[in-house]
A and B are shown apart, each in its own frame.
Chain A
Amino acid sequence: MLYKTNVKSLLVTAAIVSWVLLLGNVLLMAESVRQPGAIKLALPYINNLLIIVFILSVFFFQRLSANNLKGIDFSSYLWNLFSKAAIAAYLSIALYFAYKMSTGYARLQSPLLLHIVYQVNFGLLVYFLAKAFYIWRQLLLYHKNKFLQVAWEWFEVLLFCTLILTLLNFNYTNYIFLPLFGLFVCYILFLCTNLKWVAYLSFNKKSRSLVLLGAVLVSCYIFTKFFQEFADSPELVIDYSDVGFLLLAMLFVGTYTLAAFLVSLFSLPTSSVFEQKSEDLLNFQRLSQSIQQGQSEAQVYDLLFESTIKASDATAAWFEMVRGNNTHISHLLNINNEQIERIRHLLMAYNIQHIDYINNNLDRNSGFRDLALPWKSLIILPIKSKKHVFGTLYLLRDIELGFDRETVNVLRTFTSQTILTIENLRLVAESLQNERYKEELKIATQVQESLIPKTFPTDSWFEIATHAVAAKEVGGDFYDFLQLSESRIAIIIGDVSGKGISAAFHMAQMKGIFHGLMQQDMPPSEFMKQANSALSRCLEKTSFITSSLYIIDYRMQGFMFARAGHCHTLYYNAMMEDVFYFQTDGLGLGIVRDKSYNNHVREMYYDYNPGDVMVIYTDGIVEARNAANDEYGEDRLKYMLTQTYHLEAEDIKCAIINDLEDFTGPDNLYDDQTLLVIKFKPVQPKA
């Protein structure tokens, strides 16, 4: 940046010095012409060199100062062009007239003053050309491609090459250069066709630009006229119209300004179309981005309503929002409720409320004619997806054929984008809702976990090990215990049919029934009967619960139990060294919902020996499957106990669970699994 500033100041210095030297030299030359006797101090050839230095330094300064295009605010560039460059022409003409007036008033000839004016105007011309040249470059290269970029660079190089002619004092009007000159003009004309920026001007900006461009054109004319006037003038010792570079630069600036002026002028009537399109595009963008911007459905409908009215130039409109089975009018424009009601009645009669419908000549339809509406065209745009109807948009225009194909296409694009946006908004909301459900489910999991006892009373009578996993967040398996008296404990296991939330509720209910009924300390069969009666009133028809209840009495060294459709209890008798299943009858709870259930439950009493092992489980254990779809089965469970009965309860449980996991493989849990291992201890408590 420092480098650039340095170069800039160097160029400014060079320009000023060369101009002042040029002025001095020209004045000296003029003096020597006026007084032939005077000493010839002026150096004739140095002029050309100074001209070139001046032109180059001014042009390069402007080249460096030219800013990159920012945005599409082209009118500010034009204003820049006018205020900083074109004004120079008006200054120069003012200066010339001031000179004319002063000499005319004083009636004196002052060649020196004329030279000064001429010289100042030369400076202004070069400044004007340089400024205009580089502003036009910026605009010309707007939306450039590689080819245009190269073409421009060559143009600049060629243009600066013409300065060599001046340096060598060639006369460019020489016939040798004419064809070349012609080619160069063609080149300029080609460059002048690049006017893409004009299309981006709105109607208002175009009108303003036309004034500015006109002013710049006048500037070009003033300068051309001025230097033409003084071309080959005998009063002057120097003639800048001989500098071919200036002519070509002026040709370019003038032609491009003219082209821009004409294009702006002729595109003025079509600019509203372009404006409309770019606004449509902007609205599409806003619609499609409304999700990221966290807008609500109402805001999307607002946007749709505004955009479609603008796009179609509708004179009246309304939008009906559908919520469930109700429709209500959420947006209104230049129409009253009474008119809407009449139109809706008519549409209902024709049965065309929620379908795409265009009528471009309402008067031709007797129904609409009778309504005496001030509109001639109607379009109905339903906002609906395959599943939902979100609303219906009605647009009206006061002219016939108000909705042509082009407009309808734009409107349809708006509505389909709206549908997409609304659906996406709902999806986002839904996923948030799901997230909330997941959180709730997590809480349910925690609540359910708290319902299952983690620790049993540690007792010297027996040891107990438990295992419970649910296939889903919440399950239908449960177990619990209740100390009935000092020497008696009730243990229950159960499985609610089905899985998930409903099973979890019934499981909690069963726990309540267990604690409620067992407070009264009743035998297991009686418990099952009462539990069945209680559950019959609240279980849905297809649900049932299987359960087993054991009441262990340490003092009597025995246990009483009843089975209600639950898996058979696996038992190891230490005395007989035998592993077997208790085969007892018992119907699941909630299957028979009347007194006849009482006939379906049996009670059993069994004396245990120290070292006996009882394995209680749910069907999730024996019905667990492996990859080949084989069930784990009662036999394999039984075999496991014959191998492990001598271990501690905890180790027996671990052995069984490990074997089960080996069998099913990892991540193969389809049903809740619960396993309780109770081992009666040989150690007897002290009386």
Chain B
Amino acid sequence: MKITQDIKDSTIIMTLDGELDASSSVILDEELSDPEIMKYSKILVDCRNLNYISSAGLGVFISHLQRFEDAQIKLIFFNMQDKVRNVFEILGLDLLMTIVTNYEEAITIADE
């Protein structure tokens, strides 16, 4: 699992590369728990190279969901593979989280 951050003004683009399993979700949790991240108003998560997400990985996003909502930070997933999207959908997360097809769409929604 590799997590890279790309900062553009008030937007942070987080690229997930690899498999988000029990061990790598700890790293993700650390990144999302960083107080620095609260400075940004938009968090875009690029899931192009995210091949697998375990329940632990989902748990990390779920646990931060409320916090971001309260701080009015938009969390947007884009470029998600069907397989991974299916996992989000089965759990019902697609109704809670914003999942869009590509970067442009993500930017548009984020800027609304």
Query: Which residues in A have some Cβ–Cβ distance to B below 8 Å?
Result: 495, 497-499, 541-544, 546, 564-568, 585-588, 591-593, 600, 619, 631
CB nearest neighbor in A for B66: A593
B56 close to A (CB within 8 Å): yes
**A586 touching B62 in the complex, CB below 8 Å, given contacts A497-B56, A631-B83:** no
A564 to B92, CA, bound (A): 8
CB nearest neighbor in B for A587: B92
**A588 touching B60 in the complex, CB below 8 Å, given contacts A544-B55, A631-B83:** no
CB nearest neighbor in A for B61: A542
Query: Which residues in B have some Cβ–Cβ distance to A below 8 Å?
Result: 22, 29, 55-56, 58-60, 62-63, 65-66, 83, 90-93, 95-96
Select which of A543, A586, A592 is within 8 A of B96 by beta carbon: A592
**A591 touching B91 in the complex, CB below 8 Å, given contacts A497-B56, A498-B56:** yes
Select which of A542, A587, A593 is within 8 A of B91 by beta carbon: A587
CB–CB A497/B90 < 8 A: no
Task: Give every chain A residue within 8 A of B60 (Cβ-Cβ).
Answer: 542
Q: What are 24 contact pairs spanning A and B, CB under 8 A?
A: A497-B56, A497-B59, A498-B22, A498-B55, A498-B56, A499-B22, A542-B60, A542-B63, A544-B55, A544-B59, A544-B91, A564-B92, A566-B90, A567-B90, A568-B90, A585-B92, A585-B95, A587-B91, A591-B65, A591-B93, A600-B92, A600-B96, A619-B90, A631-B83
Report A599 CB to chain B, min CB distance, Å: 9
CB nearest neighbor in A for B29: A542
CB–CB B96/A591 < 8 A: yes
CB–CB A541/B22 < 8 A: no
A619 to B93, CA, bound (A): 16
CB–CB A565/B59 < 8 A: no
A262 to B55, CA, bound (A): 86
Task: Give every chain B residue within 8 A of A631 (Cβ-Cβ).
Answer: 83
Task: Give every chain A residue within 8 A of B56 (Cβ-Cβ).
Answer: 497-498, 542
What 18 new A-B contacts, CB under 8 Å, besides A543-B59, A544-B91, A600-B96? A497-B55, A497-B56, A497-B59, A499-B22, A542-B63, A544-B55, A544-B58, A546-B90, A565-B90, A565-B91, A567-B90, A587-B92, A587-B96, A588-B93, A591-B62, A592-B96, A600-B92, A619-B55
**A586 touching B92 in the complex, CB below 8 Å, given contacts A498-B22, A631-B83:** yes
A436 to B111, CA, bound (A): 57
CB nearest neighbor in B for A584: B92
Task: Give every chain A residue within 8 A of B65 (Cβ-Cβ).
Answer: 591
Task: Give every chain A residue within 8 A of B62 (Cβ-Cβ).
Answer: 541-542, 544, 591
CB nearest neighbor in B for A495: B55
Report A89 CB to chain B, min CB distance, Å: 88
Task: Give every chain A residue within 8 A of B58 (Cβ-Cβ).
Answer: 497, 544
Task: Give every chain B residue within 8 A of A565 (Cβ-Cβ).
Answer: 90-92
Report A264 CB to chain B, min CB distance, Å: 71
Task: Give every chain A residue within 8 A of B92 (Cβ-Cβ).
Answer: 564-565, 585-588, 591, 600
Centre residue among A585, A591, A592 by max chain B CB count within 10 A: A591
CB nearest neighbor in A for B62: A591
A15 to B49, CA, bound (A): 104
Report B86 CB to chain A, min CB distance, Å: 8
Task: Give every chain B residue within 8 A of A546 (Cβ-Cβ).
Answer: 90-91
